[in-house]
Structure 1
């Protein structure tokens, strides 16, 4: 069961698992599409509606994906979906996933925390009541850790204090209402795991980039979404689009902000590995799900090099940073557990970047350049909601 299976990571994962013989169901309330309508955004790629997507997948693959349209914050709906599908694994992408969106104003901060935290608690109860052997695989974020001045371990850290030693959850320092919702999720999941002997895996995912997977390339109607706006677009995808349309790549502040990254194909593989290696009852496994780490400046340099080989002329400008974050810092996060279980990473090499840029160039006429520049400032988060579209 893929919660949030109509979204960027969820759709690619649903097709990947279905194509490998897993029986898959998608649960989604389409709220990600609603955000675009609210804010005047759009995916660069022309994505089809979820019902057509699922029909096309069955047409081209011969494999059926079940679809449950509804809100996981509605426990009556979620209960019915669990009882109908009887999942043995539940992959939880079903959350509002943008830090800038959560910092726009009070109403969206409250929505993010209510939707994410309450939805996850509902999922835990649904597993407890209707599928007690089901393995919960929850997508967390590397942003839960913040940017500490020590190495980041994979979920847990052993501490010696006043002559005593214990292994504890690694300290969390979320830097937005979105990241804090993920911290709350992790704490709630750990308590449920211990109390109800659940099987849980928390995947602290880095920044995902790319659009094409082997499954989405089987038919143009299966294309995944590609966000480029300043609220939902990641830095790498945004840089690729800026390079393609001749807009300078907008580096926030000094550009030394460093994060972990992974290709969308590796996201799918990591979820499969987690499905195939369930945690034992009463244990919450935690993996740091990324393959490489780069600073923002390094990303801009990579896109510049790849773009020039395609005849583009990428330029870089530094713009005031709308976020409250360290722009130069130490960053060394451990990420070996998934590779120990068999992940063979698709690293951010030249061919992958050229593939991304080629896709972007194909759809560049869809770009609305008014949406590229920063639109949400952390310190100016308002109590009254407002729209972000520039008319």
Structure 2
């Protein structure tokens, strides 16, 4: 099977591309490499040293004998997208090619517009390309659990059956996104749902939780293949960020009360979930939604786990309580369903002390690369006092 990984130079995309190639899929990466540019603009860098994409792919070929094709360009440019698709002729398209940071989307008007144009238009271009040229292709799209928000009822997998005034229907689950980034994902979901319904396309939307970890079998083969690991206040995510903070003995950055509960999963499960979705494609005209996470944790509970592990390694780590830059509930009900991927055969890697120890050791190895000025959040959801 031929699989095009859009956004294959990024955190989830790179691990997925190597994993699928190692499993025998014919893989190509399409990426405009803009994430590296955004790092330069923001003055941030990944904890790990990331080689140029061409060198990474050459090293993969040297080690495994497997070739991953590369298309460098922007899916917002429709002619480029069509040309790349026609050259590669994919059976499945795995779409990671979006601006994926909520804080980035909330910096200012320009970043909000950039996020929504990049994400919504890029996905819409893919849908039109599929309709015009690849109607049998299966789209596997990375969504986010953040589309749902924190409703005071159980979160189903994409759809909910409602009885109202004596009538009953199954409808897309209501969305309560918490940033302009999350809103872009909601727009994507609606556009994909509509395209599948009217054009008979097939798609799987993976509503992914917070991903942690850095090493997969493939990215651990050689330092040239190492994955990125973000710790800054814009692109860094919980657990990864906490472990890196612990490595330099910086107070763990819990925002507000820390009662925010989210779904989490190991990056090794991310790549396996993608494979399961590809191997069991949606039917024509169907948009499936899988909630892609394995466990649920409160942010403060997660910080306590990291503190305990770090203390056991001789590190002096405290949990800080920082003003929450986001507008979100800090104490709420959260119970999300996640059975569909398990039914397809996912065997999860659950968070363990050994995994946290491994991530801490990894962070310690590269802690000399940490810029301490980039750890605290700098982007606020609120209109600051005195601004116009």
Q: TM-score surpassing 0.5?
A: yes
> Aligned to 2:239, what secondary structure does the other structure show?
helix
2:24 — aligned with what? 21
Which of the numbers 138, 141, 154 marks the counterpart of 1:138?
A: 141
Q: Write the distance in 1 (CA, Å) between the matches of 2:296 and 2:118.
A: 30
Please state if 1:244 is matched with 2:236: no
Distance in 2 between residues matched to 1:215 and 1:178, nearest whole Å: 30
In the alignment, the residues of structure 1 paired with residue 241 and residue 359 of structure 2 have an alpha-carbon distance, to the nearest angstrom, of 11
Is contact 1:103–1:381 with CA below 8 Å preserved after alignment? no
Select 1:111's aligned residue among 109, 114, 131. 114
Answer yes or no: is the 8 Å Cα contact 1:47–1:224 preserved in 2: yes
Q: Which residue of 1 aligns with 2:160?
A: 157
Unaligned 5+ segments in structure 2 are: none
Match of 1:314? 317
1:65 aligns with 2:68: yes
CA separation in 1, counterparts of 2:317 and 2:296?
22
The structure 1 residue matched to 2:199, chosen from 192, 196, 199, is 196
In 2, Cα distance between the equivalents of 1:44 and 1:302? Answer: 21
Distance of 2:352 and 2:92 partners within structure 1: 33
1:288 to 277, 288, 291: 291
Q: Could you tell me how far apart the structure 2 residues matched to 1:164 and 1:88 are?
A: 40
Q: What SS does the corresponding residue of 1:230 show, helix, strand or coil?
A: coil
8 A contact 1:106–1:381 mirrored in 2: no
Offset of residue 307 of structure 1: 1.2
Aligned to 1:75: 78
Q: CA offset at residue 309 of structure 1?
A: 2.3
Cα offset, 1:380, TM superposition: 3.2
Aligned equivalents of 2:18 and 2:383: distance in 1?
A: 40
Corresponding residue for residue 227 of structure 1: 230
> Taking structure 1 as the reference length, what is the TM-score of the superposition?
0.97
Corresponding residue number in structure 2 for 1:255: 258
Partners of 1:150 and 1:47 in 2: CA distance:
42
Answer yes or no: is the 8 Å Cα contact 1:104–1:381 preserved in 2. no
CA distance in 2, matches of 1:355, 1:50: 26
Q: Does 1:348 align with 2:337?
A: no
Q: Unaligned 5+ residue runs, structure 1?
A: 385-391
User: How far apart in 1 are the matches of 2:320 and 2:357?
Assistant: 22
Residue matched to 1:388: none
C-alpha spacing 1:95/1:350, structure 2 compared with 1 (3 Å): same
Which residue does the alignment assign to 2:307?
304
Alpha-carbon distance in 2 for matches of 1:168, 1:314:
46
Query: Is residue 183 from structure 1 mapped to residue 186 from structure 2 by the alignment?
Result: yes
What secondary structure, in the 3-state scheme, does the structure 2 residue paired with 1:356 have?
Answer: helix
SS of the residue corresponding to residue 181 of structure 2 reads: helix
Cα deviation 1:224-283 (Å, max 9, x = unaligned): 000000000002111111100011101100000000000000000000000000001001
Corresponding position of 2:271 = 268
Q: Secondary structure of 1:217's partner?
A: coil
CA RMSD of aligned residues (A): 1.1
Q: For 1:48-63, what aligned pairs fall within 5 Å after superposition?
A: 48-63=51-66
> Which residue, out of 143, 162, 171, partners 1:168?
171
In 1, distance between residues paired with 2:93 and 2:164? 38
Deviation at 1:24, TM superposition (A): 0.3
Match of 1:357 among 338, 353, 360: 360
Q: Distance in 1 between matches of 2:86 and 2:258?
A: 48
Q: Give the Cα–Cα distance (whole angstroms) in 1 for the partners of residues 352 and 297 of structure 2.
A: 13
Output the CA distance in 2 between the equivalents of 1:130 and 1:47.
35
Tell me by how many angstroms 1:314 deviates: 1.6
1:215 to 218, 222, 226: 218
